[in-house]
């Protein structure tokens, strides 16, 4: 397994828990990018336990927001997706991208 691509997106989110929504948008954008780039075997790592849980439970009725439904649709399209929750120290690349994003907003 190797790192393929990273990206930085600046979004203005006006409502809700900002960190949680930013993580969900990152998952959605990343899965969409992977699909459009024809990647079908995807390993997605997040340091947010709740995001990993919501993404892994496609039958959950707990959080049925439009954003979560989009993520679940993208997950159903892909042949092979693994989603893991990892400790923040192990997710240092994503953490560095997040810090860069805060500096550029």
**Mean pLDDT (10-residue bins), the chain, 105 residues:** 58 60 87 87 86 86 81 85 82 68 60
pLDDT at 103: 66
pLDDT at 34: 87
- Token digits for 91? 């997710």
For the whole model, what pTM was predicted? Answer: 0.72
Best CA proximity match to 95, nearest among 10, 23, 24: 23
pLDDT at 16: 53
- Give Cβ neighbours of residue 26 (< 8 Å, ≥ 6 apart): 9, 46, 94
pLDDT at 71: 92
Question: Would you say 28 and 71 are in contact if contact means Cβ atoms under 8 Å apart?
Answer: yes
Distance CA 27, CA 21 (A): 10
- Token digits for 6? 């990273």
pLDDT at 28: 92
pLDDT at 8: 56
């Amino acid at each position: 397994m190797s790192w393929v691509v990273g990206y930085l997106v600046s979004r203005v989110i006006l409502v809700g828990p900002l960190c949680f929504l930013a993580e969900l948008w990152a998952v959605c954008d990343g899965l969409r990018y992977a699909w459009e780039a024809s990647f079908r075997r995807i390993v997605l790592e997040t340091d947010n336990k709740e995001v990993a849980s919501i993404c892994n439970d496609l039958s959950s009725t707990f959080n049925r927001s439009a954003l979560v439904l989009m993520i679940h649709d993208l997950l159903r399209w892909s042949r092979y997706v693994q989603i893991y929750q990892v400790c923040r120290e192990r997710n240092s690349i994503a953490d560095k991208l997040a810090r860069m994003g805060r500096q550029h907003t």
